[in-house]
Structure 1
Amino acid sequence: MAEDLTWLLSRLSEKVPGTRSAVLLSADGIAKSWHGLDQDGAETLAAMASGLCSLSQQVGTRFSGGEGVRQVLAELGDIILFVTAASVGTVLAVLASREVDAGILSYEMGRLSTQIPAYLATPARQQAAVNGNW
């Protein structure tokens, strides 16, 4: 996997006017790459996006049989938060101004996810204890 995918997130922000910042994170909330935020902001957004995905997954499981979270959208004052499943074990969170074309941003986020899934996949973490060894 590529070490730094900031270029990918920068390109998304440049392509869609109104996009403020983006974070690529593992499903368990660890920020992997980001654009438009400092490290603390990226880590905070990653943790929150992971929690939002988990909550959304539970809603899907409880009320619709759950096929996984495709996208969560939250309108918050002067920003909109988009959270999309990007690849296996990977989530893409984007903050945009209210002026953003939500359809175009959603499309570009989905396109990004399908164009290069090998870069976006987060491999499953190995079990810490194997045969009593840590």
Structure 2
Amino acid sequence: MTSPTWTSSAGATGGRGGEDLRWLLSRLVAEVPGMLSVAVVSADGLLLLSSEPEDGVPRHRTLGPMGAAADLATVVSGLGSLTSGAATLMDGGGVRQTLVAMHTGNLLVMSISDGSLLGAWTTPEADMSTVTYHMALFVGRAGHLLTPELRAELRQTDGRRQR
């Protein structure tokens, strides 16, 4: 099985943290059966890292959010906000994870740290306990890498790319 091409919404970052996150993301999708696409989204809804190639053309999946990583990031951010609001209304505490099961796939969103989210799109046949387990491992390993400095660097580099 070949590893998918991984990019940051910001391109290459100068720090080691971005490279470590990309490496962890590539292992996540390459090693978890049924996992098709992954996005790391900041607390304010910006895509930080994704499994989409830079040109936005999916090469490793045939199903999923239409277009590109930005679509997955938008859905992950919106779902995270919605479930957080629901938890507040119900006095349920912080949301750890959210699962949406659909006919054509599953969307799993997990909290990483200080509001950052990890979202994964899977095939409908994916074993969600395995997906959840591996996502939790990623969150445990990646949480300390998503420092304010790395998030700022990813956002700043992304702004330069869009000009």
**Per the shorter chain, which TM-score range?**
0.7 to 0.9
What is aligned with 2:106?
Answer: 80
Structure 1: runs of 5+ lacking an equivalent: 126-134
Alpha-carbon offset, residue 122 of structure 1: 4.7
Q: Is 1:3–2:18 an aligned residue pair?
A: yes
**Secondary structure of the corresponding residue to residue 59 of structure 1:** helix
Q: Is 1:61–2:88 an aligned residue pair?
A: yes
Structure with the larger RCO, 1 or 2 (CA within 8 Å, 6+ apart):
2
After superposition, residues 18-29 of structure 1 pair within 5 angstroms as: 18-29=34-45
Q: Is 1:105–2:145 an aligned residue pair?
A: no
User: How far, CA to CA, are the matches of 1:86 and 1:114 in structure 2?
Assistant: 8
TM-score computed with the length of structure 1 as normaliser:
0.81
User: How far, CA to CA, are the matches of 1:122 and 1:93 in structure 2?
Assistant: 20
- Output one character per residue of 1:70-112: Cα deviation in whole Å (capped at 9) or x when no partner: 1010012211000000122310000000111100110111111
Contact kept? 1:17, 1:100, Cα under 8 Å: yes
Contact kept? 1:89, 1:121, Cα under 8 Å: no
Percent identical across equivalent pairs? 32
User: How far, CA to CA, are the matches of 1:113 and 1:49 in structure 2?
Assistant: 15
Contact kept? 1:81, 1:95, Cα under 8 Å: yes
Runs of 4+ more than 4 Å apart: 121-125
Alpha-carbon offset, residue 36 of structure 1: 4.2
User: How far, CA to CA, are the matches of 2:52 and 2:125 in structure 1?
Assistant: 17
**Secondary structure of the corresponding residue to residue 23 of structure 1:** strand
After superposition, residues 43-62 of structure 1 pair within 5 angstroms as: 43-62=70-89
What is aligned with 1:33?
Answer: 49
**Secondary structure of the corresponding residue to residue 66 of structure 1:** coil
**Secondary structure of the corresponding residue to residue 145 of structure 2:** helix
Structure 2: runs of 5+ lacking an equivalent: 1-14, 58-66, 153-163
Q: Report how many residues are paired.
A: 124
Q: Is 1:120–2:135 an aligned residue pair?
A: no
User: How far, CA to CA, are the matches of 1:79 and 1:115 in structure 2?
Assistant: 26
- Aligned partner letter, 2:82: L
**Secondary structure of the corresponding residue to residue 104 of structure 1:** helix
Contact kept? 1:19, 1:100, Cα under 8 Å: yes
Go from structure 1 to structure 2 and tell me whether the alpha carbon gap of 1:8 and 1:104 turns closer, same or farther (over 3 Å shift).
Answer: same
